[in-house]
Amino acid sequence: MPPRRRLRALALLACLVAAGMTERPAGAQEPNTANVVAARRHFDRARGLYARGAYREAVAELEAARALDPSAKDLVFNLGVVHEKLGDIDDALQWFHLYTTMDLTPPERERAGAYVRRLEGAKNEVPRRPAEPPAPTPGPPTPGADVTQPPPVVHGRMDGATITAIAVSGVALGFGTFMGIKSLHDRPSDFVTGQDGSYADLQDRTDTAHREAIAADVGFGVGVAAAITAAVLYFGRTRTPEVAGDPPPARVSVRPLPVLGASGGGGGAVIVQGSW
Protein backbone atom coordinates (compact mmCIF):
# COMPACT_ATOMS: atom_id res chain seq x y z
CA MET A 1 0.00 0.00 0.00
CA PRO A 2 1.38 3.43 -0.81
CA PRO A 3 2.50 5.48 2.17
CA ARG A 4 -0.15 8.16 1.59
CA ARG A 5 -3.04 5.68 1.69
CA ARG A 6 -1.57 4.05 4.78
CA LEU A 7 -1.53 7.40 6.57
CA ARG A 8 -5.17 8.04 5.61
CA ALA A 9 -6.21 4.61 6.94
CA LEU A 10 -4.43 5.21 10.24
CA ALA A 11 -6.05 8.62 10.60
CA LEU A 12 -9.55 7.15 9.96
CA LEU A 13 -8.94 4.39 12.53
CA ALA A 14 -7.87 6.93 15.11
CA CYS A 15 -11.05 8.93 14.56
CA LEU A 16 -13.21 5.82 15.01
CA VAL A 17 -11.43 4.91 18.26
CA ALA A 18 -11.88 8.45 19.57
CA ALA A 19 -15.55 8.37 18.70
CA GLY A 20 -16.00 5.05 20.52
CA MET A 21 -14.30 6.36 23.65
CA THR A 22 -16.56 9.41 23.84
CA GLU A 23 -19.80 7.51 23.26
CA ARG A 24 -22.13 7.64 26.39
CA PRO A 25 -24.02 4.57 27.60
CA ALA A 26 -27.57 4.13 26.50
CA GLY A 27 -30.02 6.13 28.58
CA ALA A 28 -27.35 8.41 30.06
CA GLN A 29 -28.27 11.86 28.87
CA GLU A 30 -26.84 15.14 30.03
CA PRO A 31 -29.62 17.32 31.50
CA ASN A 32 -30.50 20.29 29.40
CA THR A 33 -30.58 23.85 30.61
CA ALA A 34 -34.37 23.95 31.06
CA ASN A 35 -34.28 20.90 33.36
CA VAL A 36 -31.46 22.37 35.41
CA VAL A 37 -33.38 25.63 35.86
CA ALA A 38 -36.57 23.78 36.86
CA ALA A 39 -34.58 21.59 39.27
CA ARG A 40 -33.12 24.73 40.82
CA ARG A 41 -36.63 26.09 41.47
CA HIS A 42 -37.62 22.87 43.24
CA PHE A 43 -34.42 23.02 45.28
CA ASP A 44 -35.11 26.61 46.37
CA ARG A 45 -38.64 25.64 47.46
CA ALA A 46 -37.18 22.69 49.37
CA ARG A 47 -34.83 25.03 51.23
CA GLY A 48 -37.74 27.25 52.28
CA LEU A 49 -39.78 24.27 53.47
CA TYR A 50 -36.81 22.89 55.37
CA ALA A 51 -36.34 26.23 57.13
CA ARG A 52 -39.98 26.09 58.30
CA GLY A 53 -39.65 22.51 59.52
CA ALA A 54 -41.86 21.05 56.77
CA TYR A 55 -39.48 18.16 56.15
CA ARG A 56 -41.80 15.83 54.23
CA GLU A 57 -42.77 18.58 51.79
CA ALA A 58 -39.07 19.38 51.42
CA VAL A 59 -38.38 15.72 50.52
CA ALA A 60 -41.02 15.87 47.78
CA GLU A 61 -39.43 19.00 46.28
CA LEU A 62 -35.93 17.48 46.41
CA GLU A 63 -37.10 14.29 44.71
CA ALA A 64 -38.77 16.36 41.99
CA ALA A 65 -35.52 18.29 41.49
CA ARG A 66 -33.45 15.11 41.28
CA ALA A 67 -35.83 13.67 38.66
CA LEU A 68 -34.94 16.68 36.49
CA ASP A 69 -31.21 16.72 37.33
CA PRO A 70 -30.11 13.22 38.45
CA SER A 71 -26.40 14.05 38.36
CA ALA A 72 -26.63 16.82 40.98
CA LYS A 73 -24.85 15.43 44.01
CA ASP A 74 -26.04 18.19 46.36
CA LEU A 75 -29.63 16.99 45.87
CA VAL A 76 -28.66 13.48 46.96
CA PHE A 77 -26.81 14.78 50.00
CA ASN A 78 -29.73 16.97 51.07
CA LEU A 79 -32.16 14.08 50.68
CA GLY A 80 -30.06 12.16 53.19
CA VAL A 81 -30.02 15.12 55.60
CA VAL A 82 -33.81 15.65 55.50
CA HIS A 83 -34.55 11.95 55.95
CA GLU A 84 -32.30 11.99 58.99
CA LYS A 85 -34.32 14.91 60.38
CA LEU A 86 -37.48 12.85 59.88
CA GLY A 87 -35.95 9.94 61.79
CA ASP A 88 -35.90 7.69 58.71
CA ILE A 89 -32.42 6.34 59.35
CA ASP A 90 -32.60 3.55 56.76
CA ASP A 91 -33.66 5.98 54.00
CA ALA A 92 -31.01 8.48 55.05
CA LEU A 93 -28.31 5.76 54.88
CA GLN A 94 -29.43 4.79 51.36
CA TRP A 95 -29.06 8.37 50.14
CA PHE A 96 -25.68 8.86 51.80
CA HIS A 97 -24.39 5.54 50.40
CA LEU A 98 -25.50 6.72 46.94
CA TYR A 99 -23.74 10.02 47.58
CA THR A 100 -20.44 8.21 48.27
CA THR A 101 -20.58 6.58 44.81
CA MET A 102 -20.68 9.95 43.03
CA ASP A 103 -17.77 12.09 41.86
CA LEU A 104 -16.75 13.71 45.14
CA THR A 105 -13.84 15.79 46.30
CA PRO A 106 -11.79 14.41 49.22
CA PRO A 107 -13.51 16.72 51.79
CA GLU A 108 -16.95 15.74 50.46
CA ARG A 109 -16.10 12.05 50.64
CA GLU A 110 -14.78 12.42 54.17
CA ARG A 111 -17.95 14.23 55.23
CA ALA A 112 -20.15 11.55 53.62
CA GLY A 113 -18.23 8.82 55.43
CA ALA A 114 -18.76 10.61 58.74
CA TYR A 115 -22.51 10.75 58.10
CA VAL A 116 -22.66 7.07 57.23
CA ARG A 117 -20.69 6.00 60.33
CA ARG A 118 -22.78 8.16 62.63
CA LEU A 119 -26.12 6.93 61.22
CA GLU A 120 -25.08 3.29 61.33
CA GLY A 121 -24.14 3.72 64.99
CA ALA A 122 -27.44 5.49 65.71
CA LYS A 123 -29.34 2.73 63.97
CA ASN A 124 -27.89 0.19 66.40
CA GLU A 125 -28.68 2.38 69.40
CA VAL A 126 -32.29 3.25 68.60
CA PRO A 127 -34.56 0.39 69.75
CA ARG A 128 -37.34 -0.78 67.55
CA ARG A 129 -40.62 0.83 68.48
CA PRO A 130 -43.04 -1.87 69.65
CA ALA A 131 -46.39 -2.00 67.98
CA GLU A 132 -49.03 -0.26 70.05
CA PRO A 133 -51.66 -2.69 71.33
CA PRO A 134 -55.24 -1.89 70.38
CA ALA A 135 -57.25 -0.02 72.95
CA PRO A 136 -59.30 -2.43 75.06
CA THR A 137 -63.03 -2.35 74.54
CA PRO A 138 -64.80 -1.41 77.76
CA GLY A 139 -67.02 -4.21 78.98
CA PRO A 140 -69.72 -4.44 81.62
CA PRO A 141 -68.56 -3.75 85.18
CA THR A 142 -67.63 -6.83 87.16
CA PRO A 143 -69.43 -7.58 90.41
CA GLY A 144 -67.83 -5.76 93.28
CA ALA A 145 -66.13 -3.23 91.03
CA ASP A 146 -66.00 0.41 92.04
CA VAL A 147 -69.00 1.88 90.25
CA THR A 148 -69.87 5.54 90.61
CA GLN A 149 -72.85 5.78 92.91
CA PRO A 150 -75.64 8.31 92.36
CA PRO A 151 -75.80 11.17 94.84
CA PRO A 152 -77.79 10.41 98.00
CA VAL A 153 -81.41 11.45 98.09
CA VAL A 154 -82.06 14.17 100.68
CA HIS A 155 -85.63 14.68 101.84
CA GLY A 156 -87.08 17.93 103.10
CA ARG A 157 -88.51 20.31 100.48
CA MET A 158 -89.36 23.81 101.66
CA ASP A 159 -91.29 25.38 98.82
CA GLY A 160 -94.49 27.37 98.35
CA ALA A 161 -96.82 24.45 99.09
CA THR A 162 -95.03 23.58 102.33
CA ILE A 163 -94.95 27.19 103.50
CA THR A 164 -98.65 27.63 102.67
CA ALA A 165 -99.60 24.53 104.67
CA ILE A 166 -97.56 25.76 107.66
CA ALA A 167 -99.21 29.19 107.46
CA VAL A 168 -102.71 27.69 107.28
CA SER A 169 -101.92 25.47 110.25
CA GLY A 170 -100.72 28.42 112.32
CA VAL A 171 -103.69 30.63 111.49
CA ALA A 172 -106.21 27.84 112.09
CA LEU A 173 -104.70 26.86 115.42
CA GLY A 174 -104.63 30.48 116.48
CA PHE A 175 -108.25 30.94 115.45
CA GLY A 176 -109.28 27.77 117.29
CA THR A 177 -107.50 28.88 120.43
CA PHE A 178 -109.12 32.31 120.30
CA MET A 179 -112.62 30.89 119.75
CA GLY A 180 -112.12 28.33 122.50
CA ILE A 181 -111.19 30.99 125.01
CA LYS A 182 -114.09 33.15 123.91
CA SER A 183 -116.48 30.22 124.20
CA LEU A 184 -115.42 29.59 127.79
CA HIS A 185 -115.80 33.25 128.58
CA ASP A 186 -119.29 33.55 127.05
CA ARG A 187 -120.65 30.33 128.55
CA PRO A 188 -123.35 31.25 131.16
CA SER A 189 -122.13 29.00 133.94
CA ASP A 190 -123.35 31.21 136.80
CA PHE A 191 -126.31 32.87 135.06
CA VAL A 192 -129.31 33.50 137.37
CA THR A 193 -132.68 33.96 135.66
CA GLY A 194 -134.42 37.13 136.73
CA GLN A 195 -131.28 38.56 138.24
CA ASP A 196 -128.86 38.40 135.27
CA GLY A 197 -131.56 38.40 132.60
CA SER A 198 -134.47 36.52 131.19
CA TYR A 199 -134.60 32.91 130.10
CA ALA A 200 -134.31 34.07 126.47
CA ASP A 201 -131.06 35.84 127.36
CA LEU A 202 -129.78 32.65 128.93
CA GLN A 203 -130.67 30.63 125.84
CA ASP A 204 -129.04 33.22 123.54
CA ARG A 205 -125.78 33.21 125.51
CA THR A 206 -125.79 29.45 125.59
CA ASP A 207 -126.23 29.22 121.80
CA THR A 208 -123.51 31.79 121.25
CA ALA A 209 -121.02 29.89 123.42
CA HIS A 210 -121.95 26.67 121.65
CA ARG A 211 -121.30 28.16 118.20
CA GLU A 212 -117.99 29.57 119.40
CA ALA A 213 -117.00 26.15 120.71
CA ILE A 214 -117.86 24.59 117.36
CA ALA A 215 -115.78 27.24 115.58
CA ALA A 216 -112.90 26.48 117.94
CA ASP A 217 -113.18 22.77 117.14
CA VAL A 218 -113.19 23.53 113.42
CA GLY A 219 -110.12 25.78 113.80
CA PHE A 220 -108.25 23.11 115.75
CA GLY A 221 -109.22 20.48 113.17
CA VAL A 222 -108.08 22.61 110.25
CA GLY A 223 -104.83 23.47 112.09
CA VAL A 224 -104.03 19.80 112.79
CA ALA A 225 -104.87 18.78 109.20
CA ALA A 226 -102.71 21.58 107.80
CA ALA A 227 -99.85 20.61 110.11
CA ILE A 228 -100.03 16.98 108.90
CA THR A 229 -100.12 18.21 105.31
CA ALA A 230 -97.03 20.41 105.90
CA ALA A 231 -95.18 17.43 107.39
CA VAL A 232 -96.05 15.25 104.39
CA LEU A 233 -95.03 17.97 101.92
CA TYR A 234 -91.73 18.55 103.70
CA PHE A 235 -90.57 15.05 104.64
CA GLY A 236 -92.27 13.12 101.82
CA ARG A 237 -90.40 14.87 98.97
CA THR A 238 -86.77 15.34 98.04
CA ARG A 239 -85.02 18.69 97.89
CA THR A 240 -84.43 18.33 94.14
CA PRO A 241 -87.31 19.89 92.16
CA GLU A 242 -89.31 17.68 89.85
CA VAL A 243 -88.15 17.48 86.26
CA ALA A 244 -90.33 17.33 83.16
CA GLY A 245 -92.42 14.19 83.15
CA ASP A 246 -92.61 13.83 86.95
CA PRO A 247 -96.03 13.66 88.59
CA PRO A 248 -97.45 16.97 89.88
CA PRO A 249 -96.64 17.91 93.48
CA ALA A 250 -98.97 17.04 96.30
CA ARG A 251 -102.03 19.25 96.63
CA VAL A 252 -104.08 19.47 99.81
CA SER A 253 -107.26 21.47 100.45
CA VAL A 254 -108.94 21.86 103.82
CA ARG A 255 -112.42 23.32 104.29
CA PRO A 256 -114.97 23.27 107.11
CA LEU A 257 -118.35 21.65 106.54
CA PRO A 258 -121.21 22.79 108.77
CA VAL A 259 -123.52 20.08 110.07
CA LEU A 260 -126.96 20.76 111.54
CA GLY A 261 -128.00 18.71 114.52
CA ALA A 262 -131.38 17.20 114.99
CA SER A 263 -132.37 19.89 117.49
CA GLY A 264 -131.44 22.71 115.13
CA GLY A 265 -128.16 23.40 116.95
CA GLY A 266 -124.85 24.04 115.15
CA GLY A 267 -122.18 21.45 114.42
CA GLY A 268 -119.12 21.10 112.24
CA ALA A 269 -116.72 18.78 110.44
CA VAL A 270 -113.41 19.09 108.57
CA ILE A 271 -112.96 17.88 104.97
CA VAL A 272 -109.35 17.21 103.88
CA GLN A 273 -108.83 16.55 100.17
CA GLY A 274 -105.48 15.80 98.58
CA SER A 275 -103.74 14.19 95.65
CA TRP A 276 -100.22 12.77 95.37
- Give the rounded percent of residues in the chain with a pLDDT score beyond 70: 64
Q: What is the pLDDT of residue 60?
A: 94
Q: What is the pLDDT of residue 91?
A: 92
Q: Each residue of 103-159: pLDDT tens digit?
A: 889 999 999 899 999 888 888 776 555 556 666 666 665 655 555 666 677 777 778
Res. 61: pLDDT tops 90: yes
- Looking at per-residue pLDDT, the higher value among 266 and 225 belongs to 225
Domain boundaries, the chain: 32-125, 160-275
Q: Is 7 helix (H, G, I), strand (E, B) or coil?
A: helix
Which candidate, 218, 227, 235, places its Cα nearest to that of 167?
227
How sure is the predictor about 26, in pLDDT bands with cuts at 50, 70 and 90?
A: very low
Looking only at the bridges linking them, the beta strands covering 268-275 and 251-258 are antiparallel
Label residue 17 exposed, middle or buried (CB < 10 Å: 0-12, 13-18, 19+).
exposed
pLDDT, mean of residues 171-195: 81
Q: What is the pLDDT of residue 14?
A: 43
Helix (H) / strand (E) containing 271: strand 268-275
Mean pLDDT of the chain: 74
Helix (H) / strand (E) containing 100: helix 89-100
- Give the rounded percent of residues in the chain with a pLDDT score beyond 90: 18
How far is the C-alpha of 261 from the C-alpha of 210, rounded, in Å? 12
Q: Which fold has domain 32-125?
A: 1.25.40
Q: Each residue of 89-115: pLDDT tens digit?
A: 999 899 999 999 998 899 999 998 999
Q: Each residue of 190-227: pLDDT tens digit?
A: 777 767 777 787 788 888 888 988 988 988 888 889 88
